[in-house]
Structure 1
Amino acid sequence: MRTADSKTALYRRPRAHRQPRALYRHLLALFCAGSLTSGAYAATEMLDQVVAIVDDDVVMASELRERMATVNENIAAQGAEAPPEDVLIRETLDRLILENIQMQMGGRFGVRISDGQLDQAMGRIASQNGLTQEQFAMLLEQEGRSYGEIRANIEREMVIQRVQQGNVNQLIQISPQEIDNYLSTEEGQKLVQPEYRIVHALLPMSSDTSDSEVAQQTAYCETLVDRIRGGEPFESVMASVPAEYAFSGGDLGWRKLDDLPSLFQDVAPTIARSETADLFQSPSGLHIVTMADQRGGGDMTINQTKVRHILLKPSEILTDEQARELAEALKARAETDEDFGELAREYSEDIGSATEGGDLGWTSPGQMVPEFENTMASTEIGSISQPVRSQFGWHILEVLDRREKDVTEDMRKAQVQEFLHSRKYQEELDAWLRQIRDEAFVDIK
């Protein structure tokens, strides 16, 4: 058995000795001889063989065959020109080796993908194709592909993604100064601009259109605006227009203010979500403009609640019913002459807040589990709630105060931080992948 040092010493051999071109030429020869090609494999069952040793695992010829088949299918589907086969084999094997390293890391780190998470991932893929999971599975079978294999591949991708995120995210540090510096740039200011999704309709008019015709067309367009403002969907209203009115336009998609056509840059900030602007005329004709949606920008405030609680967890020595009864008893004691904070220090099983008298500070919408949040919202300031059951156990809550908080600047900075993080992520990922590849023991057969 090799020691760690001997393995490292073996690995540290010069790269040309570990991965000479002759090895890849050997793999190409195997392809040409038929031991790796899918067609020959189908005609004559070949014995599988190891093509690479990767730390404590191996890459088999069957894996390389299957991946090569997928790569070639993708290249053909895209209508692209395939690289030379020896290059394709080398790149595909290198990718399999790198994935193998990461899967081994996932095993050591205990990364697991639950059936529920896999079901959700498969469901998203099916819905993106306009199918149910059952329809998706049937379609795959009709195409001669295995639903189980696709599911296994998705699981593999999810494990690798978690391994990458867990290792790379900790390498990315973004300081408050970086955020402020970026916000002060023109690019940063554009990033935090609001985004608008506008739908519009244009009724073209030429410069020689008569005044009476302009008046008639304007009056008709005004009726359409009134119908949209009255609650009829924009699309339905425009679909009902007679063919003699040759409207053009449609959905502009999500756009920053600076990316909107200049014609709409003055209009967009003046209308709220779902509102329709007043009909206006340009040299091109008459415009009907509706704000389908908008996000970001403007002042943002949220309602926050200052709350403290006592958590009682059912256990082997405390049944669920006993925990509820104890919660009711503590509520009664707190409503008489005992201090809620002292009761929380003595009884609460929420380690994080018990020493603080159950104080959770100012909480924002979405921060707590739904059962807790709903109870908190329905409890008056200065009152103690009825016991409520959540996934964590039984709670009683005391609402201390409520306020509106302006989070505009916090949201802007969070948006910039997310952008800077994503921009750094690929660079750090590439460097990390090179590092783990260099540190692994790889022996290509």
Structure 2
Amino acid sequence: MKKSIACLLVIASLGGAVAASAQTLQPLDRIAAVVDEDVILQSELDRAVRNVTQQYANQPGQLPPQNVLERQVLERLVLMKLQVARANSSGITVTDDELNNAVAGIAQQNGTTIDGLRQRIAADGLSFDEFRNSVRDEITVQRLRQSFAQSRIQVSEAEVNAAMAAQASGGTQYHLAHILVALPEGATPEQIATGQKKVDGIKALLDKNEMEFNAAAVRYSDSPNALEGGDLGWRSVDEIPPAFVETLKGMNAGQVVGPIRGPSGFQLLKLVETRDASQAAPKMVTEYHARHILVRITPTQDAAAAKAKIDTARARVAGGADFAAVAKEASEDTNTRDNGGELGWFPADAYGPDFGQKIAALQDGQVTEPFRSEAGWHIVQREGSRQSDVGDANRRSQVRETIGRRKLEEEYNRFLQEMRGEAFVSFRNQADAAATPTTAPAPAPATPAPSGG
């Protein structure tokens, strides 16, 4: 999907550590927050707030007061810092080659060259080094999420069977939005009472039509998607926590329910609209036939050694060697090595979005450049593609993926909440960082708690 430069700058501004530059060395650039052993500079915060404001240029009334907006953006920057630090401590890295490829891809998606992208970034007041660092942080966080999903998220056959049965009965999809008033793990009675008072105040504003739901989410929600108006997008039944499903079935579009007490705190849930799931479900999928060579990263084989091996394998193939023969000799995927790296036919998302995008960009017979996944370094040869009916096996795979996404969202938000609660975070020059909105009837002051979903 083509991204606008403005959108990319929001990502950049919410990225992690910003490289030292002439601007950041000026005496006027203060520290906005200390996050464990890292810092967020005031210039980072100002730039991030400015870009969020630009995104709402046509809807300025949707934004909260400046001090509240700064607090929300600062919390996002804090979470990004914490995620990047956790990824780095877990050995998750992004090489310069991977970063160069990602930046080249962004330029291509925006119909320009690297030099053209550099000029457009500079015109928007961001240095190219800062932009590259923010892209690196985004990739790092994506890999942290992938690693988290692989280690923590399990989907049972019973869950898949139940979701398949619901789809067969003509299920409905729901467009949802929410407002979260977060509570810390092991909240005290006083913290719970404060949270209850705040969420009741927000609900009162909505009931009296004194504020639109998305505006209230931007202003008051503790959820990471607050600045998106709390929008959760379209969800099928298998992507919604079971506790909410029966409630949704009795709601009308536009209705708000809650507060509902959940693992992360109190929630207000809005049903934006509904649609027939059968109308939205795809009938055909693109499948690919491919082979691959994998060189794993292990405690005895670091990323550099693995990269050297995959580069050698890629050079042999480029020199005319048979891909299957090289796979039998060099691949460290024991499941496919003996068959020359044969993967058979599979949908694009079978091995994750990055893997699928690499194959989709090839012509039949072409081989990817080396790329890295959580498993290690790969090269892939595409042998064919086809359009296939979505059969039971594919539907089961899709259902399993949607259930996994829903579970990942829930568990990862709790993971963020835990990290935020354990971290040392000190706001500087932000006396109003925890300020309470004063619109009457004002919700109670927010409990100092991590954002979570």
- Bigger radius of gyration: 1
TM-score above 0.5, yes or no: no
Q: Which has the higher helix share?
A: 1
TM-score if structure 2 supplies the norm length? 0.42
